[in-house]
Structure 1
């Protein structure tokens, strides 16, 4: 499988979609067609948190992701959290978003606990990354944390 890259980004722009696109650009995953999947990490994958994604292929390709994102048009905090639990076999991602970073992290950890309880897999490691942004109410602000599953693939 290869590496799953966990990246984050924040941005403010005049529309909600533009702020999301700019947050994707901050993470270097803005030139792909994102296909969101639920939460299972393949057994042969490595999960690596990086500041920005490396080159994952040509623009316009399909990129498989798990993502947490939060967008607001009001002043305040936005938080997007992604957690992962891994072991010698398959692993899990869980995501949450909101306005309180501590609650977002607690929700992600509770989700990972519940996911582990559903499976008879071995989990040796757990990590959580919560991305926050402070919105000033001027335009829209997005925070995102995203896991990109390896290289992109042609969409056509």
Structure 2
């Protein structure tokens, strides 16, 4: 992965909600890391790129910063959806997360949240909001996840560099 913040997504089925969530993380390629939840600010020097599924090249157990949205269900045939939306400015950017029972509901919620974030900050906004939304129809116990992967925490990067 590059210095971009990579937006990935996945879905999964298993016997329990937590196992389904783990399967969704595996589908997204981020299941072998200790995910550390970030608030939703994008540093000005970082860009956000939609990549889908990717196996991040970090060592097992690496603490990795993410902004994520997820939803699980144990109701067969129920739709679960999750998504992230972001908008950029010269000063940085903002990511928002949402989950609901449909992709359409997630998109509407994200647009509202991003509009609020834009009004809150007196920044030089550039372009339109971008959205990454993923939807899954549950077979037995299912989950969906969308995550913005910032990369390893600074101390993990330093430790890896020291081993090389």
State the partner residue of 1:129.
132
1:108-127 residue pairs with structure 2 within 5 A? 108-125=110-127, 126-127=129-130
Q: CA RMSD in A?
A: 1.8
In structure 1, the residue corresponding to 2:125 is in which secondary structure? coil
Please list every run of at least 4 consecutive aligned residues from structure 1 whose deviation after the TM superposition is greater than 2 angstroms.
Answer: 53-56, 150-156
1:47-126 residue pairs with structure 2 within 5 A? 47-75=48-76, 76-125=78-127, 126=129
Cα offset, 1:88, TM superposition: 2.4
In structure 1, the residue corresponding to 2:30 is in which secondary structure? coil
In structure 2, the residue corresponding to 1:58 is in which secondary structure? coil
TM-score by length of 1: 0.92
Cα offset, 1:52, TM superposition: 1.8
TM-score by length of 2: 0.88
Structure with larger Rg: 2
* Contact 1:80–1:145 (Cα < 8 Å) also in 2: yes
Matched residue count: 154
- Return the alpha-carbon distance in structure 1 between the equivalents of residues 45 and 146 of structure 2: 22
- Return the alpha-carbon distance in structure 2 between the equivalents of residues 100 and 21 of structure 1: 21
- Return the alpha-carbon distance in structure 2 between the equivalents of residues 56 and 66 of structure 1: 18
- Return the alpha-carbon distance in structure 2 between the equivalents of residues 28 and 135 of structure 1: 20
Structure 2 stretches of 5 or more lacking a match?
160-164
Cα offset, 1:82, TM superposition: 0.6
Cα offset, 1:100, TM superposition: 2.1
* Structure ranking higher in helix proportion: 2
Structure 1 stretches of 5 or more lacking a match?
none
In structure 1, the residue corresponding to 2:142 is in which secondary structure? strand
